[in-house]
Amino acid sequence: MTTEKEIKMPIDIKGILNLLPHRYPFILVDRIIDFEPGQSITGLKNVSMGEPFFQGHFPGEPVMPGVLILEGMAQTGGILAYLTEQSMIGEKLVYFAGLDKVRFRKVVRPGDQLIFKLEMIKYKARLTKMAGHAYVGDELVTEAEMMATFA
C-alpha cells in the first residue's frame, strides 16, 4: 500500500470523476465523506427520480435495482483501492473479481440518500477484499463482500 499524498475530505463529484472511469448515467457515487487509507471509506449517492433506470424499474412503483446499489458500493470500493494504491490512478482499472454474502434488506426509492460504507478485509498483491454495507438513514439496505483487482 502506498499513501503518496494527503487526501482532503470530502471528495466531490469532480474529484470522483478524476479517479473513476465511469460517466453518466453509470456514475453511482456522488461524494466521499470519509476515508482511511487501506482501512475504510464512506460515500454517498443521492437517489433522484431523474435516474434513467426508474423509467422501467418499475413504472408507478420506482425501486432502485439491487445490482445498481451493488455497483455504487463497488465504485466506492474502487475509490478506496485507488486512494490506498495511488500509483494505480490513471494507470490501471479496478475490476470486480467476485461477490459473496450479498443480501438485499430494504428497497431504495427516489428521495433516499444511500450511504456506502466499505471496510478493507484483505489487501494482497493488488487483490482487495472488502465488506460493504449500504444504508438509508440508519437502516441497512444492502450488504456484500466484494473482491476487486487492478488490471
Supply φ then ψ for residue 81, to 5 degrees: -60, -45
Is 22 among the catalytic positions? no
Q: Where are the beta strands (DSSP E) in the chain?
A: 31-36, 40-46, 94-104, 113-124, 127-136, 139-150
C-beta separation of 77 from 148 below 8 A: yes
Given the C-alpha cell 450488504, which residue does it identify?
Answer: 143
Separation CA 13–CA 15 (nearest Å): 5
Of 22, 71, 67, 18, which Cα lies nearest the Cα of 45?
71
Choose the catalytic residue: 22, 31, 57, 92: 57
Could you give the residue numbers annotated as active site? 57
